[in-house]
Structure 1
């Protein structure tokens, strides 16, 4: 997943960033409302994790601007404000879930996964596509019942293509999914990942749409 974390507490932010990155997610971390809003408007994010008490732009104001801009990424609010009125304001402003501080990183990870599943219309952690099964919790892939070893970027690429089966994913969109803003990308990196997936899961799985990108056939 591509995750956007907007949190000004350095210690907490580091912990969340390390934990989610260790799960294989791409995490962009912004530490104030101004840079957080810019990132939310510019970056494609599967889930936005948003603190409320931010410098420059308050979290609720940020959230309202994000929703007014038409961005529908699920938003998980993190806050120490435990009054019912504050929680209702957050949900009314467009938040999808609310997590009170202090919280365990395990619960945060579970909330993020649940939000992402719901946004994709999936009720469970397992995704099936023909003879391929993807366990999104364990980040494991099985082909005809046999576990297949995939690199992190191969896994993310496969997951996105299967989730969006029948839809062409542009090369630019896939590059944004697989690589962070400051990460250097070789010109043929995407083609290498596609080649590896075809080698491991079958040549016919991923279709090339010349001049545009890639897709897998709709079930």
Structure 2
């Protein structure tokens, strides 16, 4: 029981720290010079990224093994590919729309307890990961090491997935499952707001 309380405390502090981040920095084009740190902060400082990446962890935890690790591994791997496309200047239409839609769709999947076949869930996550990665790659500062920057945004993304997984573990109880589905609803509502703003 003590380990559960410690875990809940660490999770709460992490979410509070994420909540104090300024969302205006994520897509402003004013990314500070740096490398790893700049890449690490990019997904964490944009609420449109945060909700989607937490939702991936929530959905994976809700679906259980092997989705609990497959979805959070698929997302950053495909996101890195999208980052390379963005850094190379390969155009991708509807970046902000795709990012906003990711929060809406994955949030709805959690809210409605969607249980598609694992390959379908992985493809959904992968498609949205391309948009997130492209945004990271496009906004990569010219002065930084691309490898350090990519490592930073992949690790930042992974930590957000872990927050989602940690909260998603509450599904082991009936009340916890309702809380997780409610969180999916909040994420979907925020995603809808971002989507309206992107259109």
- TM-score scaled to structure 1, two decimals? 0.25
Q: Give the structure with the larger strand fraction.
A: 1
Quick one: higher RCO (CA 8 Å, sep 6+), 1 or 2? 2
Larger Rg computed on CA atoms? 1
